[in-house]
Amino acid sequence: MEENKPQTETQTQSKTQPQTQPQTPAELSAEQRQAIEAAVFQRLVAHLQKRVDVQNIDLMNLSGFCRNCLSKWFCEAAAQSGITLDYNEVRTDIYAMPYDTWKAEYQK
């Protein structure tokens, strides 16, 4: 006769949370892909906000884009949805401060 042992946290979780198999990007729904892309974009912006030592010119030379490009792309994507955003306000959001402040403090 088997004793009634308390279940471990892992055993409890496995019963309450469905186990899903990893998906390839091609298998993602449009909503899943959009949510993941948004999270990636947010992480990229946060990373660039922390890495003020990385100059825009270096980003341009190495990757072909910079913080200003991200700001322009953000405005362009909004425009495609019929939303007009102020470029300088978007740039302030990307830089986490007004561009002139960032330029004076961090641009070499």
In a domain, 96, yes or no: yes
In a domain, 9, yes or no: no
Residue in this structure with the two tokens 């993941």, named with its chain if needed: 36
Domain range spanning residue 47? 30-106
In a domain, 69, yes or no: yes
- Give the domain CATH number at 76: 1.10.3340.10
In a domain, 1, yes or no: no
In a domain, 48, yes or no: yes
In a domain, 23, yes or no: no
Q: In the chain, how many domains are there? A: 1
Where b means 16+ CB within 10 Å and e means fewer, 28-65 reads eeeeeeeeeeeeeeeeebeebeeeeeeebeebeeeeee
In a domain, 70, yes or no: yes
pTM assigned to the model:
0.73
Per-residue pLDDT of the chain (108 residues; tens, 9 = 90+): 545 555 555 555 555 566 576 678 888 888 999 999 999 999 999 999 999 999 999 999 999 999 999 999 999 999 999 999 999 999 999 999 999 999 999 999
